[in-house]
Structure 1
């Protein structure tokens, strides 16, 4: 009788564990081994459609978060890049720069695969989409993209890497204006005093400065489905600790893959608000999410894998003089692996104040490896779903 009682007690103890393991296996078996990709909310809006190539502008309806209203060139003509050359002062028709500086809305696509080595920073004008679907487009080994003082820009499906600082010189920003630029810092994408911006399904790596910088009161921005790798200071939100105008900044960072070889700033935030949701973090060398000057950060449903370095397990880093405990930094429904841990702070709600159209529900963290599996540029073929 004593043995039977012991076995019964042991079975009652083990049953929940066994059921939990079965549940985990079932989830992993479904989300990793299914032949059908598990799509996130943005991708499910357009990737299953076989007519994406003839209905490219439907992509503009698919953003979520603070950059939801970015329409890019939705109401403009299709402009086809046929020439990979670059002339910063007098760009030729058919080049990327010629399309990017036009004052009218344009949806910019590419005739074929191409590598574009810009001779100076590419200055974007408002109401532009750069759409790399269906081809392989690389921008690198020179200055890269500047989004300054404009609105409604979408950049999708572009590989941006090895960006270098530019020298001072003349750069055309509209068909009617050539200005003297002081030189860019070597960012992959610099967003300066701009709004309604959406960066989606891009590959970003190995640049001289940041991969994405969002500064000078830029706001209404979504960074989604991108693949970041091999870089030090990944993403900066906020100009400096004295630039209080960045309090208006609202950024959604969602469905991205922060892959190997990254050191810090995924993101680093000043003053503004960042909703960091459903991203996969494959280790980091210093920290993942940081900030200064009392930003508000909600980390929701992310999948964090800490590095093996026992000195770098902490996800968060605050740069302050000891007053950070009132800052609203929260972790909600995140998954932590290999000893990763998040230090929260502050009181009261820090939920994103989304409009109904911007709002979305973060998926459970265990789904994040599956829904970020296709982060970065996609292989899209005409007549097939991407």
Structure 2
């Protein structure tokens, strides 16, 4: 009920603003509001909503609103499901298994993707009821086939060192309300041409998968937080085919080529409604491109630390709106790779109309952002999900990005 109330309050607060904006479009030019003021007002209302929702939070004073919501609680292990109320951004309403039982994974095996054993991770994620999934010890889970998530599930690795690695990895396909938190996801391989179960009542034939770390396919209300991802066959996190309401936050990504694809193809118009928040992540050593690569939708890239790329950091095609705010970009020592951005698959006379902007970003070692578009306020309001901290604070905000080493009985 808390999530529903928060959304209702936010909608009620923003409705007059959007009505004002729509009226301005058809009125005389003298009555059109300043685009920057419109977007700032959206930020203010969003933050008011977050503040109301997180009254009584455990402030660590890090400037990272997600971490400040839960990490200073010495009894986090007894209050695990409270994490679901700490989400921000477009995926803030992802509750995962908050309203369900705790399920403890005791068996790291994955011998039968059609008839998984109780105690395994696969058995937990396919169930119909909400579940908050935790682990009784450190373990490495080498999946035999894709892990097909069902709705209203949380995978919570806090308190153990949990690696999903060496086989196919996580697929969130046509389901909703999924949280992935605190796990290591790496060395993911292709799977498929096999039967795989996705619910207690259904299993079916899976064709060859891409080998993503996390594949979001037609999924919504998804939050991937404090995970460490590297070295997968295709993307580390990909969201395609009408996926939306996604937050990717506090992750540490390393040693990978095509990091993050958001949008299926230039011709797949259903992705025009996609909204993704990318916040407080550290894009680190050994990365090449796509941090992210966007198509069609609305993308808020805020307070991330970019310390490595070889080709480019942020790119896209098919006229996405990209709102880059208060990130830190450290360019590589490669003369032709100083540009943060890459407008793909279109001539300049086309991409110059795409709405890409940089606001408050910090550029180091010659990095630069090639802005484009007309600074349309309605477009950027749809690509605004939280207020940015100053870029000078990005180092502090992202210093603990990735899976955390949480110990029971003390703050994490």
TM-score (norm 2): 0.83
Residue of structure 1 aligned with 2:272, choices 237, 247, 252: 247
CA positional deviation for 1:353: 3.3
RMSD of equivalent CA atoms: 1.2
Choose which of 370, 385, 396 in structure 2 pairs with 1:343.
Answer: 370
Which of 284, 287, 294 is matched with 2:319 structurally? 294
| Large movers: runs of 4+ above 4 Å | none
Q: Does 1:58 align with 2:85?
A: no
**1:163-197 Cα deviation digits (max 9, x unpaired):** 00003100000011111111211000000001000
Deviation track 1:277-331 (CA, whole Å, cap 9, x = no partner) reads 0000002100000000000000000000000001100000011133001100000
Equivalent in 64, 78, 84 of residue 108 of structure 2: 84
- Aligned residue for 1:385? 411
Query: Which residue is equivalent to 1:321?
Result: 347
Determine the C-alpha separation between the residues in 1 that align with 2:136 and 2:200. Answer: 23
1-structure distance, mates of 2:295, 2:380:
17
Matched residue, 1:129: 154
Q: Is the 8 A contact 1:163 1:187 kept in 2?
A: yes
Listed as ranges, the gaps of 5+ residues in structure 1 are 1-35
Secondary structure of residue in 2 paired with 1:197: strand
- Quote the Cα distance in structure 1 between the aligned partners of 2:323 and 2:119: 43
Task: Give the one of 273, 295, 302 matched to 2:298.
Answer: 273
Once the two structures are superposed, the pairs formed by residues 358-369 of structure 1 within 5 Å of their partners are: 359-369=385-395
Provide the rounded CA distance (Å) in 1 between the counterparts of 2:65 and 2:403. Answer: 17
Q: Which residue of 2 aligns with 1:375?
A: 401
Aligned-pair distance for 1:37?
A: 7.6
What secondary structure is seen at the aligned counterpart in 1 of 2:103? strand
Q: 2:132 aligns with which of 99, 104, 107?
A: 107
CA contact (8 A) 1:225 1:254 kept: yes
Higher Cα Rg: structure 1 or 2? Answer: 1
**What corresponds to 1:120 in structure 2?**
145
CA deviation map 1:328-374 (0-9, x unaligned): 000000000000000101112243438xxx95321000100111000
Structure 2: how far apart are the matches of 1:212 and 1:117? 18
Contact 2:63 2:389 in 1 (8 A): no
CA deviation vs aligned residue, 1:78-135 (integer Å, no higher than 9, x gap): 0000000012111000000000000100000000000000000000000000000000
Higher helix share: 2
CA contact (8 A) 1:84 1:95 kept: yes
Matches within 5 A, 1:101-180: 101-180=126-205
In the alignment, is the contact (CA less than 8 A) between 1:275 and 1:352 conserved in 2? Answer: no
Give CA-to-partner distance per residue, 1:17-53, whole Å, 9 cap, x none. xxxxxxxxxxxxxxxxxxx883501100000111100
Task: Answer yes or no: is 1:353 the counterpart of 2:379.
Answer: no
Work out whether residues 145 and 192 of structure 2, in 8 Å CA contact, stay in contact via their aligned partners in 1.
Answer: yes
Among 263, 266, 289, the alignment partner of 1:264 is: 289
Q: Does 1:72 align with 2:96?
A: yes
d(CA) in 2 for partners of 1:82 and 1:314?
47
